[in-house]
């Protein structure tokens, strides 16, 4: 499979998003099914795997860690921090929490380093410079190799990049969601040499042609039930 660069890190052109292992579109999949999917992807040339502590929570990271441990040195693991999922709600990117949750993610992923560590969402209560500084410390310690941002504005990307090089930015991008072409995010990534990783590139399955006005989403297990673009109107 062809390779692409996220900053200086080479990854497979196609990556595997692992959110569904924690059950966000439907009920969580079994560990056996997740492990089979992950290893089949690897056998077919995928070396870039994307997860997050909030997926499950924790379940996706655990499945990814177990499935890919035999091939750890041949793959790139990306995970994310930033949601308050320890009995509270909202966002939490305080440096002390980043230092805590990175250790937990490392344990679940069965690894000694995270190849790409994303801030899952910008925390309005924590300066992005403080977040970047915390990641810089983790990079210096060898626990994290590259820094990423998810759903960040062009301004936030620049502010973070001034403290610690940003290797990748992840945002929703598909034929029906093209905001990053207009809001400066793609231009900023191109200017600064930052890789861009689209999430939901097939529109959360809409672009597969399998969804129509009769499709129903269970609000208890499918996040699409709360998305206006999936409503009849």
User: Is 55 among the residues known to form the active site?
Assistant: yes
53 within 8 A of 101, measured Cβ to Cβ: yes
What is the architecture, at CATH level 2, of domain 3-203+210-230? Alpha-Beta Barrel (3.20)
For CA atoms 164, 15, 185, 84, give the dihedral sign: negative
- pLDDT tens-digit map of 166-208: 999 999 999 989 999 999 999 999 999 999 999 999 877 777 7
Residue in 55, 117, 118, 173 annotated catalytic: 55
- pLDDT tens-digit map of 24-67: 666 778 999 999 999 999 999 999 999 999 999 999 999 999 99
Other C-beta atoms closer than 10 Å to the C-beta of 64 total 28
Closest of 79, 165, 167 to residue 119, by C-alpha: 79
* Pairing, β 3-6 against β 9-12: antiparallel
pLDDT at 182: 98
Helices within 48-193 (DSSP H only): 59-68, 95-109, 128-140, 154-161, 185-192
Q: If pLDDT is split at 50, 70 and 90, which confidence band does 101 have?
A: very high
Average pLDDT over residues 74-86: 96
């Amino acid at each position: 499979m062809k390779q692409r660069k996220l900053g200086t890190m080479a990854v497979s052109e196609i990556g595997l998003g692992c959110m569904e292992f924690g059950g966000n579109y439907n009920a969580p999949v079994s560990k056996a099914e997740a492990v089979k999917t992950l290893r089949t992807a690897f056998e077919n040339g995928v070396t870039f795997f994307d997860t997050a502590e909030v997926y499950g929570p924790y379940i996706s990271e655990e499945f990814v860690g177990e499935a890919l441990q035999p091939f750890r040195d041949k793959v790139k693991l990306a995970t994310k921090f930033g949601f308050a999922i320890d009995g509270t709600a909202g966002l939490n990117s305080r440096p002390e929490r980043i230092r805590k949750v990175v250790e937990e993610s490392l344990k679940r992923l069965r690894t000694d380093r995270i190849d790409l560590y994303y801030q899952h969402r910008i925390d309005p209560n924590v300066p992005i410079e403080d977040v970047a500084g915390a990641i810089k410390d983790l990079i210096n310690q060898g626990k994290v190799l590259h820094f990423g941002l998810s759903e960040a504005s062009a301004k936030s990307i620049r502010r973070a990049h001034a403290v610690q090089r940003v290797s990748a930015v992840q945002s929703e991008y598909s034929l029906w969601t093209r905001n990053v072409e207009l809001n400066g995010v793609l231009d900023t990534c191109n200017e600064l040499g930052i890789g861009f990783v689209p999430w939901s590139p097939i529109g959360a399955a809409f672009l597969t042609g399998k969804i129509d006005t009769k499709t129903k989403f269970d609000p208890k297990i499918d996040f699409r039930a709360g998305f206006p673009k999936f409503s009849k109107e």
